[in-house]
Amino acid sequence: MKADIEKTRAYYSSLGPESICNCDYCQNYCARVKTAYPEVAFYLASLGVNIGKPFETMPLEPDENGYLEYCVCQYVVFGSCPEDFTH
């Protein structure tokens, strides 16, 4: 994978608060994910990604213990890779 880090950083810098879903679950994710998962945040930052600005999250309802699971969290990275690339 060949990430275009500068282009990716510019993309995230251009995203304002209106780009994030305003439901409580998404707002919770964006407010807490960087502190909850610092190593993931560090890795994504190395690709130019701001972990607090996901392209999409898919929160489930809180479970019986009050925990909230996000089954999918997607981020945009500009660049190129072979068609059969997986990571």
Give me the residues that bind Zn ion (CB under 5 A), please.
Answer: 21, 23, 26
CB of 74 to Zn ion, least distance (A): 13
Contact 54, 29 (CB under 8 A): yes
Q: How do strand 2-3 and strand 56-59 relate by DSSP bridges?
A: unpaired
CB of 3 to Zn ion, least distance (A): 26
Cβ-based nearer residue to Zn ion, 20 or 77 = 20
Task: Report CA-CA distances (Å) from 53 to 7, 59, 78, 81, 83.
Answer: 15, 15, 15, 23, 26
CB of 69 to Zn ion, least distance (A): 14
